[in-house]
Amino acid sequence: MKAIKRRIKSVGSTMQITKAMELVSSSKLRKAKEKAEAGRPYFEKLYEMMTEIAESKKDFDSPFTEKREAENRLFIVIAGDRGLAGGFNSNVLKMALAEAEEGKNKPKIIAIGKKSIEFFAKRGFELVGEYPLLAETAKTADCADIATLAIEMFKRGETDQVKIFYTTFVSPLVQNPISMDILPIYKEDVEEENNTLITYDPSPEAVFNRIVPKFTMSLIYCALSDSYASEQSARRNAMENATDNAEKMTEELSLKYNRARQEKITNEINEIVSGANALQ
């Protein structure tokens, strides 16, 4: 009986913790979602402008659109800094790992989030960038650093392909790990030259080459905000389930406890009555 009582107590305190974490995640989720949405228009405009430029000329050429055999790959993998978020970390990391093992060479990794760093360091991948504790306070400047790193590597030919892995926020209940190609930029072949008579200052290529780093930065920033919102949401769900389970468990345990208590009382009464009977 004492053991049951102790269990009830420990489950109760765990429930308090999970409940608190659930509340914290809910409020963080709201902020994270706002942040993720605030960045989207900039990103969309940038993308629109980029494709427009790329399609404006037939003989358009930029180092960023050059396709090479993807021998040396660079993966940017975004995961969380803490666990206790259901399958949030493992889903995205497993997806990246599966793809990493496909190619001939192991890709280089830029790991964002402690869990991502630990995961790839343990498996012997070469980490060219480690960014722990970034997601919550991420500023565009941080993302610019990451973007510069990736772009420089691409330009120098140290990598032929840059890919990003993160978790996208679909709804409060659904978060999916996804991957996206960053570089080279996929360009559709233009059949007809788009003669809209736009003046580019100084030239389409020059403007395009300046936009690409901004675009990459913005893409990373969006992915990071998206991933952070997903993390909070996943944690909120995991904690909600944990709280529910704890509640159910306390209920069952108290039922057990009460039964045991009643049994004990009945036994005692039985003993007293049989004792009294024996005396007569």
Which 183-242 positions form the footprint of another protein (CB under 8 A)? Answer: 196-202, 204, 206-207, 210-211, 214, 217-218, 221
Distance (Å, whole) CA 162 – CA 201: 29
- Report the nearest approach of another protein to the CB of residue 201 (Å): 4
**Pick 44 or 251: Cβ nearer another protein:** 44
Distance (Å, whole) CA 24 – CA 113: 19
**Pick 35 or 163: Cβ nearer another protein:** 35
Question: 60, 54 in Cβ contact below 8 A?
Answer: yes
Distance (Å, whole) CA 67 – CA 63: 9
Binding footprint of another protein, residue count (CB under 8 A): 28
Question: 211, 49 in Cβ contact below 8 A?
Answer: yes
**Pick 45 or 264: Cβ nearer another protein:** 45
- Report the nearest approach of another protein to the CB of residue 218 (Å): 6
- Report the nearest approach of another protein to the CB of residue 202 (Å): 5
Which 134-173 positions form the footprint of another protein (CB under 8 A)? Answer: 140, 144
User: What Cα–Cα distance (Å) separates residue 100 from each residue in 92, 108, 115, 126, 165?
Assistant: 12, 9, 17, 12, 11
| x/- letters, 19..48, toward another protein (CB under 8 A) | ----------------x--xx-xxx-xx--
ω into 107 cis (within 30 of 0): no
Question: 185, 179 in Cβ contact below 8 A?
Answer: no
Rule CB under 8 A: which residues touch another protein? Answer: 35, 38-39, 41-43, 45-46, 49, 53, 140, 144, 196-202, 204, 206-207, 210-211, 214, 217-218, 221
